[in-house]
Every structure is written in structure tokens, then in C-alpha cells.
């Protein structure tokens, strides 16, 4: 103890005799400090390993940046002759995302009831459903779209199918997490009143989580619009077809026009989705 009645070393905040609180002093050789240092060292080594695997090369970026600026300068003035075609492709892109998200929402809701631990009718069935949903979520939309292109041919339908499968995984997981946050009291009260599983879900669960579920679907729709802009790269429709053609032909004027269209489209969708979410939640 010091003359003021303050301990020299503490391992937790204490109140000194003069009324002040003394914060703990860190011992660099303590077990906690050593473990933190080891964790930070492991993270640093792992990040350095990732940099090596990713072949990060700032010098290559510095050498290539002037060429990138040269290509960007070739994009002016923008190409406007086929503006009606590009606009139609943009509408097609939004349509792919809209249909894919709507269909995925209808499929994901019953699956989320099976996955959510507090309302699942069968815990044994919940595990395989969760495993399937995680598989859908782990594989990207573009990969599914490429698979469906081989099945149904080129065009936006393949993009819709690929988006449905991936979105089912994403929406189901987010729906289940939202359902698991609701209080158990309304569900238990409905069960004690003799309501069956369908009525419990419809009248006790759904009103509590409907705003959150709607917000999730809007967010996924917003993300899917951005994703659908590149589905054309694998032949699955949308404005990505025009972007790929412009890149292959090094047509920078057309690429600039398409990039501006994508920027406008995504911005409008983002703002619309954000406005709708604020109204729902």
C-alpha cells in the first residue's frame, strides 16, 4: 500500500481510500498478457501467409496504374448508340434479381421454421435441412448459374435458377436467426391454449418477426441486383452479357456507358430498398 492507501498492483479495478478508482496494471509476463501476445503473433503470421498466397504485389499495381488510366481515358466520350439495348439489359438484370429473390423467399420461409431451434417441429430433421441450406449458401450464385446454363441453356432463366438456389440458403439462415430471437412466452401461451403447429407459426410467431423477415428479403434483393450484373459473364442473362462483350473487344467507350448504367441502377435499388426497410422496421 502507498501512503495514500492505494495498492501498488491490482488485477481488477478497486476503490482506493481517497475514493478514486484504480485501474489494473498490466503485467507483461502474466498468463493473460502472454496469451494475447501469442494470439496476435499467430494472427500476424496467418495474415502474412495470406498475403503470400494472394500474391499481393504493390509494385505491379504501381506499374500497371498508368495503363489503367490510359484505358479509362479511352472511354470518353461514352457510347450512346445502343442505349435502348443497354437499358433493356438493365431492366432484365433487375427482373432476374426480383424473381429469384421472391421465389427464394417463398421457399426459405418453411425451411427456416425447420431450422429455427425454438419452433422446429423435429430437431432430428433440423440438422439435415440446416446442412443443405448451408451448402446452398456456401456456393456462389455465379457457380449455380453456370450449372443451370448447361441444363436449360443460355439466358436469364439460368440466372434466375442460380439466384434462387443461393438465395434460399442465405434467406433461410437469416430468417432462422430472426425467428430464434423472439420471446418464448407467446409461443408457449399459444401452445398451452391448444393451438397446433400451424396456428402457432401463423398467429404467435409470424406477427412478431414479419417486419424483420421483410427487411431481410429486401436486403437480399438489393444484394442480388448487384450480383445479377455479372451473371451475364457465364451466359445467364442481364447486363453482364454486354459488359463481357465490351471487355473482350476492349471497347472502353461502351464499357464506360455500361458502368454508368450499372451505377445508376444499383444506387436507385439501394435507396429504394433502404426506404422500404425504414418503413417496415
CATH number at residue 243: 1.10.3720.10
User: Model-level pTM?
Assistant: 0.72
126: domain range?
83-280
Residue 125 lies in a domain: yes
Work out the mean pLDDT of the chain and round it to a whole number. Answer: 79
Pair 33, 137 in one domain:
no
The 10s digit of each residue's pLDDT in 191-215 is: 666 666 666 666 666 667 777 788 8
Pair 14, 104 in one domain:
no
Surface-to-core class of residue 48, CB atoms within 10 Å of its CB (0-12 exposed, 13-18 middle, 19+ buried): exposed
Residue 74 lies in a domain: no
The 10s digit of each residue's pLDDT in 70-83 is: 777 776 877 778 78
Q: What is the count of structural domains for the chain?
A: 2
Lowest-pLDDT choice from 2-11, 121-130, 177-186: 2-11
**Of 56, 71, 94, which residue sits at a domain end?**
56
Residue 75 lies in a domain: no
Q: How far apart are alpha carbons 134 and 130 in whole angstroms?
A: 6
Pair 108, 231 in one domain:
yes
Pair 191, 52 in one domain:
no
Amino acid at each position: 500500500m502507498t501512503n495514500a492507501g492505494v495498492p501498488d498492483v491490482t488485477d481488477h479495478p478497486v476503490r482506493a481510500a481517497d475514493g478514486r478508482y484504480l485501474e489494473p496494471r498490466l503485467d507483461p509476463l502474466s498468463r493473460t498478457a502472454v496469451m494475447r501476445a501469442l494470439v496476435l503473433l499467430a494472427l500476424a503470421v496467418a495474415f502474412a501467409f495470406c498475403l503470400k498466397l494472394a500474391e499481393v504485389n504493390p509494385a505491379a499495381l504501381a506499374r500497371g496504374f498508368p495503363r489503367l488510366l490510359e484505358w479509362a481515358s479511352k472511354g470518353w466520350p461514352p457510347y450512346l448508340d445502343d442505349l435502348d439495348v443497354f437499358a433493356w439489359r438493365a431492366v432484365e438484370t433487375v427482373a432476374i434479381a426480383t424473381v429469384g429473390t421472391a421465389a427464394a423467399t417463398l421457399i426459405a420461409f418453411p425451411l427456416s421454421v425447420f431450422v429455427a431451434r425454438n419452433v422446429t417441429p423435429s430437431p432430428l430433421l433440423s440438422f439435415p435441412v440446416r446442412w443443405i441450406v448451408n451448402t446452398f449458401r456456401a456456393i456462389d450464385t455465379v457457380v449455380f448459374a453456370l450449372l443451370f446454363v448447361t441444363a436449360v441453356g443460355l439466358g436469364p432463366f439460368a440466372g434466375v435458377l442460380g439466384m434462387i438456389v443461393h438465395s434460399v440458403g442465405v434467406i433461410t439462415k437469416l430468417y432462422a436467426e430472426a425467428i430464434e430471437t423472439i420471446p418464448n412466452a407467446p409461443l408457449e401461451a399459444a401452445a398451452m391454449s391448444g393451438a397446433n403447429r400451424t396456428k402457432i407459426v401463423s398467429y404467435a410467431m409470424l406477427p412478431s418477426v414479419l417486419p424483420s423477415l421483410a427487411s431481410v428479403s429486401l436486403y437480399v434483393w438489393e444484394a442480388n441486383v448487384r450480383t445479377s450484373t455479372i451473371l451475364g459473364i457465364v451466359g445467364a442473362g442481364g447486363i453482364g452479357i454486354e459488359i463481357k462483350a465490351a471487355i473482350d473487344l476492349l471497347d472502353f467507350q461502351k464499357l464506360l456507358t455500361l458502368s454508368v448504367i450499372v451505377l445508376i441502377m444499383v444506387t436507385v435499388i439501394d435507396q429504394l430498398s433502404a426506404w422500404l426497410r425504414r418503413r417496415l422496421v
